[in-house]
Structure formats: structure tokens, C-alpha cells
């Protein structure tokens, strides 16, 4: 028994950690998106201590917290998120930034038994990447708040461990637990801990880890027992990698959680995305913008249809399976448009980005899908049945129909122009006037009149 557990510790050490002292142990656990629950149960990492919360007070030393998050209190309030994407129950550094530094003040020098950190997010910001340092605060030249660029080891801090739970294949959604301990039962005696947190990826704005809880357990504290065997032992299915004809773009399709879709992903989805992604990139350019050259599609049982965050598309395998000859491919072409849109770009390049209308974000994606990828399906046609609700800002395929009409009748550049403005944070309603000489409301009225005429004409003609 003893041999087995020390082997596990060593395996974990070799896989993911470096530490200042050889007797520091870093044990990690992962529950994938389907298995993660609010209990944060891991086989080897103790669950968060939900009763009392953990001691100490956090301060941001460098960087800034995301205003959508729960603030620093979320880190040791003893409350864990109950869902996979619950910003207010987590602390995370702001979108588009490269992490930051947090200091925990335990109030007095404290012998530490374990430092346990927990995170949960369905996307690439699930894993944890940080270094943790400890300090008594009494060393000569001690800097209580070393900013990025200052090596804490040079100003009174001791490196305890470096943690990186990102999987090698670049995936990473789900729930992570990390337990830093010491074979002697004592990590060290420190008053302050400094967490130097890195973003898990910088391909998009959403790479800062969703930290759900950071618990420091003093020597003598009860360690909640790690019990459940919820970690996945499913055999790994290698993701399929599709490449565009020119080799520039790479699309990884992960079917590890939906092995029955592997053949479809390889023979159908891969070729469609490899052909269409470069076309979408060419259709939606803007000055100085480079579309992501790599993105990932994850097919797994879930809810809804599909969603895209940055360069990660997740799609519900259950829905896909029902739609293999129906909407499956088209819906993923729609998601690939979101990868190209990258409207988060505006926040990094424009100090005062305007807000993008949601109906246009979806309308452009559906325009590409219904009018370019599958015009033969006529899925965006408006019939007598839904004419009354048709409005330019109805979103999805209705907006797509409107965009197609404006493009054919007035300005064939309208979609690329709207997209470029939205990516740059410069959207405003004058864009319609500039391109067509009419306001969007005037265009809407005219479009609806034509729709009505065509529908009535078709009905009268009996065809």
C-alpha cells in the first residue's frame, strides 16, 4: 500500500511539478466536464473544506481581477461553484490579461500542512498554471508585493512549487484539484503565500483560470478525505487532426467522450471544416487581423447544440447524433464562423470598443452557414408562417436572410464591412447608411415588403 501511494506521488511529481525542495509533493486530480460535480471529488486530492472556509486574506499584488468574477473572497469562502461555468463563484484575472499575482496573508507565521487549489471551467481555462512562494515576512529586504518581473526568490520569498495541470494535448476543460504537501507532513512555516498565476493560454481572451477555492491547511488541521473514484479511466481516443489544403489551418476534433462519432468526425466533419474554415477567414477579413490558425472541436454528451469560446467549439454529441444527416455539419460551420469572428479582439485593440449587437453576431454566422455553405437547403427562407415575426434583428437565420437581401440588392460588401467594424469595436448604425444609403429600419421595411410580395406571389401562382 505504501509503495503504491508513493509511486503515485512520484508519478504526479514527474508529470507536472517542479519544486524548490525534493520532498515537496504535488498531487493533481482532474474530473472531465461530464463527471465534475459541486463536491470536487478526486481520487487523491482532498476536496475543498466547505465547512469553515480556509484561513487568510487574499490581496492582488499584480494584475486585475475580472469584474465578472466573484472577487477574492470566492477563493476561501468555503463555497464551491455548483456548475461548470459560474463566474461569480470563482476568482479569475481579467479577460485578455496574462494572469497576475495573489498574496495570501495568514496573519502570523503558520506551519503549513497542505496548499490545495481548485478550479472548474468547461473550456481551456480549467487547468491551473502557477508558482507558489512562501515567506515569513521577516527576511532582510523582504518585498511584500513583488510585481511581475521581480523574482520573488530575490526578495525574501521561497519557491514552494510550480504547478501546471494542462494536459499535453492542449485540451483541458473540467475540474482540477491540486494538493501541495510534503513527505514530512509540513510544507514549511510561512505567514505569506504568493501565487504567481499564469493564463492557461493566450490564443483568446479567456485563458485565465477559474479558481474556485484556494485552501491552506495548517499543520494539525483535519484533511478532508479524498474518496470518490470519479476520475475517468476511459481509454484515450486520439483526436483527429484535419488540415486545410494549404496546410495553414489545423482543426483538432476530439471524440474521446463520443467515440461513436469518430468516424463521422474523420470522414465528414474534418473535411468540411478544412474546406470551409479558410473560406470563412477570406470572407471576414479586417486590417491587421490574423484569424486563429488552430482551433479545437470537442464532441461530447452535453446540453443544447454547440457553443464557441475563443478557439474552442464544444458540441453536444447526443444532438449531433440525431442530426447526422440534418443540421450537424451546418451547425458546426456556424460555430467555425464564431472562431473567425474573434470579436474579443476589439477589447485588446480599441480602448473604447462599442458594443456589438448580438443579433448580428449570430446573423453573420447563420448567413455564412445558410447562404454560402448550404444554400441548397434553403434553411433561411422565410415563409408565410414566420413572416409576421421577421425583422432584421430577429437573429440567426432571419437576420441571415436580411443580410443576404441587403447584400444582393444594395451592397455586396455589407457582411465583411459589418464584421470588420464589429471586430474592431467600431460598430454603429451609420454603417448601414454608408453602405446602402438607407437606415437599417428603412431597409427592414423594404425587405419585408418584398418578402410579403414574393410569398403572396408564390401562393397565388400555386408553385
Footprint on this chain of Zn ion (rule: CB under 5 A): 362, 365
Q: In the bound complex, what is the minimum distance in angstroms from residue 369's beta carbon to Zn ion?
A: 9
Sheet holding 294-300, edge to edge: 240-243, 250-254, 294-300, 312-316, 306-309
267/4 Cα distance (integer angstroms):
43
Q: In the bound complex, what is the minimum distance in angstroms from residue 218's beta carbon to Zn ion?
A: 48
Q: In the bound complex, what is the minimum distance in angstroms from residue 235's beta carbon to Zn ion?
A: 33
133/338 Cα distance (integer angstroms):
39
Q: In the bound complex, what is the minimum distance in angstroms from residue 305's beta carbon to Zn ion?
A: 9
Nearer to Zn ion, 160 or 365 (CB): 365
Q: In the bound complex, what is the minimum distance in angstroms from residue 331's beta carbon to Zn ion?
A: 9
Residues 355, 359, 363: CA angle, nearest 5 degrees: 120
Nearer to Zn ion, 84 or 335 (CB): 335
Nine-digit cell string for 138: 521577516
Q: In the bound complex, what is the minimum distance in angstroms from residue 273's beta carbon to Zn ion?
A: 15
Nearer to Zn ion, 62 or 362 (CB): 362
Check if the beta carbon of residue 176 is closer than 8 Å to that of residue 214. no
Q: In the bound complex, what is the minimum distance in angstroms from residue 335's beta carbon to Zn ion?
A: 7
Nearer to Zn ion, 289 or 359 (CB): 359
Nearer to Zn ion, 112 or 361 (CB): 361
The dihedral through the CA atoms of 233, 203, 176, 158 has a sign that is positive
Beta strands, E only, 148-277: 158-164, 174-182, 188-197, 211-218, 240-243, 250-254
State the DSSP code for 373. Answer: I
Nine-digit cell string for 371: 447562404
Nearer to Zn ion, 256 or 272 (CB): 272
101/119 Cα distance (integer angstroms):
16
68/225 Cα distance (integer angstroms):
32
Q: In the bound complex, what is the minimum distance in angstroms from residue 90's beta carbon to Zn ion?
A: 24
54/194 Cα distance (integer angstroms):
16
Strand partners, 459: none
Nearer to Zn ion, 217 or 361 (CB): 361
Instruction: List Cα–Cα distances, 109 to 19, 137, 179, in angstroms.
Output: 21, 9, 20
Nearer to Zn ion, 365 or 420 (CB): 365
State the DSSP code for 371. Answer: I
Q: In the bound complex, what is the minimum distance in angstroms from residue 396's beta carbon to Zn ion?
A: 8
Nearer to Zn ion, 41 or 362 (CB): 362
Strands 158-164 and 129-135: antiparallel
**Cβ atoms within 10 A of the Cβ of 303, count?**
8
Nine-digit cell string for 159: 519557491
Amino acid at each position: 500500500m505504501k509503495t503504491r501511494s508513493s509511486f503515485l506521488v512520484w508519478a504526479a511529481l514527474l508529470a507536472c511539478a517542479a519544486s524548490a525542495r525534493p520532498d515537496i509533493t504535488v498531487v493533481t486530480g482532474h474530473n472531465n466536464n461530464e463527471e465534475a460535480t459541486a463536491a470536487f471529488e478526486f481520487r487523491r486530492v482532498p476536496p475543498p473544506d466547505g465547512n469553515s472556509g480556509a484561513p487568510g486574506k487574499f490581496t492582488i499584488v499584480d494584475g486585475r481581477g475580472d469584474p465578472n468574477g466573484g472577487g477574492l473572497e470566492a477563493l476561501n469562502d468555503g463555497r464551491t461553484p455548483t456548475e461548470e461555468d459560474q463566474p461569480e463563484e470563482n476568482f479569475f484575472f481579467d479577460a485578455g490579461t496574462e494572469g497576475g499575482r495573489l498574496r495570501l496573508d495568514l496573519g502570523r507565521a503558520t506551519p503549513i500542512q497542505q496548499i490545495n487549489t481548485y478550479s472548474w471551467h468547461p473550456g481551456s481555462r480549467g487547468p491551473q498554471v502557477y508558482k507558489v512562494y512562501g515567506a515569513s515576512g521577516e527576511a532582510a529586504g523582504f518585498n511584500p508585493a513583488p510585481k511581475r518581473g521581480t523574482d520573488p526568490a530575490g526578495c525574501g520569498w521561497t519557491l514552494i512549487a510550480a504547478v501546471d495541470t494542462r494536459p499535453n494535448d492542449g485540451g483541458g476543460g473540467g475540474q482540477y484539484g491540486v494538493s501541495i504537501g510534503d513527505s514530512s507532513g509540513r510544507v514549511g512555516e510561512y505567514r505569506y503565500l504568493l501565487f504567481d498565476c499564469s493564463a492557461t493560454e493566450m490564443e483568446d481572451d479567456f485563458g485565465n483560470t477559474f479558481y474556485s477555492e484556494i485552501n491552506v491547511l495548517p499543520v494539525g488541521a483535519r484533511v478532508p478525505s479524498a474518496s470518490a473514484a470519479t476520475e475517468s479511466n476511459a481509454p484515450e481516443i486520439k483526436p483527429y487532426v484535419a488540415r486545410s489544403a494549404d496546410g495553414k489551418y489545423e482543426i483538432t476534433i476530439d471524440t474521446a467522450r463520443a467515440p461513436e462519432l469518430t468516424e463521422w468526425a474523420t470522414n465528414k466533419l474534418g473535411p468540411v471544416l478544412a474546406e470551409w474554415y479558410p473560406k470563412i477567414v477570406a470572407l471576414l477579413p479586417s486590417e491587421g487581423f490574423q484569424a486563429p490558425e488552430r482551433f479545437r472541436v470537442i464532441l461530447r454528451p452535453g446540453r443544447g447544440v454547440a457553443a464557441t469560446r475563443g478557439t474552442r467549439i464544444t458540441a453536444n454529441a447526443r444532438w449531433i447524433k440525431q442530426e447526422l444527416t440534418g443540421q450537424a455539419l451546418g451547425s458546426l460551420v456556424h460555430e467555425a464562423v464564431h472562431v473567425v469572428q474573434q470579436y474579443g479582439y476589439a477589447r485588446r485593440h480599441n480602448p473604447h470598443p462599442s458594443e456589438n449587437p448580438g443579433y448580428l453576431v449570430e446573423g453573420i454566422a447563420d448567413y455564412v452557414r445558410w447562404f454560402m455553405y448550404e444554400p441548397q437547403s434553403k434553411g433561411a427562407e422565410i415563409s408565410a408562417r414566420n413572416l409576421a415575426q421577421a425583422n432584421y434583428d430577429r437573429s440567426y437565420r432571419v437576420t441571415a436572410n436580411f443580410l443576404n437581401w441587403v447584400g444582393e440588392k444594395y451592397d455586396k460588401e455589407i457582411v465583411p464591412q459589418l464584421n470588420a467594424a464589429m471586430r474592431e469595436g467600431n460598430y454603429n448604425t451609420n454603417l448601414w447608411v454608408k453602405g446602402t444609403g438607407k437606415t437599417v429600419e428603412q431597409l427592414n421595411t423594404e425587405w419585408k415588403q418584398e418578402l410579403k410580395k414574393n410569398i403572396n406571389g408564390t401562393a397565388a401562382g400555386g408553385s
